[in-house]
Chain A
């Protein structure tokens, strides 16, 4: 599907290593990953040496690197677990970042072809998005498609795409209660579409398979929303959902697009939904407050950069959500610290 010629120098692939053995993950992705520069960040809580196969061009960051860079802010910002990837985003200087969870391997499309998820994300990010009016034939810039009758001509040049959200075959990104209720449920439906999520429409962004334009929205991908009993399975987190809503608000404010759909990755089975469910419902409960907050958020017209937007979002969180639960107060603080850290590191 990719018609774009990719400048590999513009791309970093960030890998958050939550397990020591990266060999099978990287071997599966070798045809794709071997063409790019990789940033591998080891979960600072993980003890032991990472096993990385030969033949890749990468930089590795571990706890000592994180502590060295982050310094005094390390009290506010945790890079444990899934959040280790954000350190990778901080270190990157490339235009595009692609990030895929280390329990996902390449998928095959309905014709049995290998899906190059990186190429598809880059295509999504480097072609315009159309958030201001819905196109019923989905992505109009895709080969074989176009804008339909009734689509205003003034909106046909589209806007830049800030975020590309991919999907998952096999184990979809369902929450623990849903998966526990339907333990056999596997996603086998390959939906051959990319679409722009309309402006002002909120969505749950899964961190499992994403790409973004670091130059446009970089700081908005932040580690802020940490559950009290957050674990190393996606069922035990909602940090990416929070981050995704921040990114969507930023994109809506800055008139950028967010796309959803292709590419698919194949997500392997890991963990036990019922065990995760026994631990904690916190994330699921908190969404009831999080979603209405983001849906009603309005930023000032002077918020013209991602950093400005994040500061206003953090202020809103502190004022409206923090009184209801300490997790929100921490999130607001972390967001402020992160923006400072981002500015400091990015200008070095």
Chain B
């Protein structure tokens, strides 16, 4: 049950990296300074590596451009997208921290209904540090939040919850719509502040947006591969979606939780819907096959680590989705390459031997 007193949220400044993909300067960080300055940043520079990215003074960061990615991964660099923000997952791979927060460079600090600035990172940390409840839906949303609890009828044996692997935040102002919806509703803005965090139930997949996302790298990191997008690929704007579907299926298998809801950030820039349509177009058809695939995925009991689950998933992607398009054969191979690269950069002893969640039930 939730504690009666409100304890301050730990900063975790030595345990969390902020990963930001970018092709331009990072002025947006000025607005985030009060909340981000204590943390180490990993900047993944997409596009032209000769361009200099301006980072505001006072931030502690490491920056990787395409040359760095090629140098560090060698031939395995083929799994990291080019000319797409999907390249951000390289940042997850090189991080040595337990937690990752990733944010887009057109996302700013939002205000809550009382007018106060929202510390999105603090809320994500709260979400990750307290359990999830995927096995039974709590109608009062997150039972561990101050002022809430489990409702009548919620079995006591399920009230310990499971560890939280992912915290998926939302966006005020420009909503994360696909191109067709953007074209039909160019003026729609998300003005509704929904004061809830909730666990996405086991067996349910969801569209994970990478704009405002945090996760426990130790628990689920290898599943956060953002796929093959952008230059030379037939599809874009499905990177985070793909990572989200893989991640959720693996979380369900390993008994980990995924939360969605607070915190909100302010999404300032609407990308060009015609450009988006060209990128997403194939995805709109393909997702009709992809979703049923993920909804019926079965991972064998022998898969007890994220990497094992992911490799098994890659096999099934190759077996079942290649008939949709040869792209999926390439993607399945890239998924395997990703795991190989991950394990090389993160040698066993820390990540690879995570046992199946043993939280008491």
Contact = CB atoms under 8 A, between A and B. Distances in A.
Interface of A: 110, 133-138, 142, 144-155, 165, 167, 172-175, 178, 181-182, 185, 187-193, 197-206, 234-235, 238, 241, 244, 260, 284, 287-288, 291, 295
14 contacts: A133-B204, A137-B170, A138-B194, A145-B175, A145-B192, A150-B238, A153-B288, A155-B291, A192-B193, A193-B194, A201-B204, A206-B153, A260-B139, A291-B155
A288 B154 CA distance: 9
B147 A187 contact: yes
Nearest to A289: B155
Closest 10 CB pairs of A and B: A150-B207, A204-B153, A241-B153, A203-B137, A201-B201, A134-B206, A198-B204, A175-B152, A150-B241, A149-B178
Interface in B176-231: 176-178, 181, 185, 188-196, 200-209
A53 B181 CA distance: 50
B287 interface: yes
B1 A181 contact: yes
A167 B137 contact: no
Q: Main SS of the interface on chain A?
A: loop
A284 B156 contact: yes
Interface in B232-257: 237-238, 241, 244
Nearest to B289: A152
Interface in B126-147: 135-141, 147
Contacts of B196: 189, 191, 193
Given A167-B139, A203-B136, A288-B157, 12 more contacts: A135-B207, A148-B178, A150-B209, A151-B178, A193-B192, A197-B201, A202-B136, A203-B139, A234-B152, A287-B154, A288-B156, A291-B136
Nearest to A234: B152
B207 A146 contact: no
B137 A144 contact: no
A138 to B, nearest CB: 6
Contacts of A206: 139, 151-153
A234 B175 CA distance: 40
Interface in B71-105: none
Contacts of A167: 139-140
Given A178-B149, A189-B147, A198-B204, A204 B139 contact: yes
Contact of B203 (A165, A178, A198, A234): A198
B53 interface: no
